Amino acid sequence: MSQPTLSSTASPPPTKIGVLLFPGFQLLDVAGPLDVLNILSRQHASLSLSIIAASLNPISTHQDTYSAFSNIPSNPRFSQSIVPTHTFETAPEDLEVLILPGGFGSRSEENVEGLVEFLRGYGKKLKWLLTVCTGSAILAKSGLLDGRRATSNKRAFGWVKQQNTSVTWIAKARWVVDGPIWTSSGIAAGIDMIYAWIGSIWGEETADVIADSSEYERNRDSEADRFAERWGAV
């Protein structure tokens, strides 16, 4: 039996995707969705990726000040870095999709100040804006979530809600879609969100082919989120 192929159902689907980084980002918030998109790009050669940060220096998962859940800083001897391709000033002007991760570093105003300003100026030009984990807290600071529904990491949910009370924060959600903005719960939830997003554009068969090739069992119900109870978000 021949293998199913990836096929586009959106007209036209996006081709220019960007990822925003800041010090102390959560690795799986970025690597999970990007690995899925890496596979998609093998069948869609028009896809391009830009990695955007405050500078072109490697951006580390290490956060100097504190963990999101304790006063213990992350271990500088055990961290990873990603090298940006663009700064906030040199980012391509025609990006259609931005992915914004969360992570321990999202609680540092110094880490995210320039990113928030970039989002205020750039965000309204996008066709889609996707956040993972506490990336929605960063987005909330920009005002782009005002009056919208969104979700975030359930262990940090109390802090997230404090960042913008004009957002309708949904505790019982794996991911939430409100117009062009998709927000997901903590860390691994970003993988389920990216599959759902791909399914909405390129078709569910495409999303399933990618998931099966990765031997990944998708969570398909956006409202099935046991972590809301686990971490006391509801």
Nearest to 130 by CA among 163, 175, 162: 175
What pLDDT digit, counting tens, does each position of 148-198 carry?
999 999 999 999 999 999 999 999 999 999 999 999 999 999 999 999 999
Residue 5 pLDDT? 46
On the question of pLDDT at 71 being above 70, the answer is no
Say if residues 225 and 174 touch (Cβ distance below 8 Å): yes
Rounded (5°) CA angle 21-24-28:
70
Distance separating alpha carbons of residues 167 and 169, to the nearest angstrom: 6
CATH 3.40.190.10 at 16-230, yes or no: no
Tokens representing 191 are 């993988």
- For residue 139, the SS3 value is helix
Q: Rg of the chain over CA atoms, in angstroms?
A: 17
Query: Which tens digit of pLDDT belongs to each residue from 110-154?
Result: 999 999 999 999 999 999 999 999 999 999 999 999 999 999 999
Whether a cis peptide bond, with omega within 30° of 0, leads into 180 is no
The residue type at 207: A
Q: Residues near 108 by Cβ (< 8 Å), separated by ≥ 6? A: 23, 24, 63, 65
Residue 2 has pLDDT above 90, yes or no: no
Mean pLDDT for the chain overall:
93
Rounded Cα distance, 136 and 158, in Å: 13
Domain boundaries, the chain: 16-230
Contacts of 201 (CB under 8 A, 6+ apart): 8, 9, 10, 13, 14
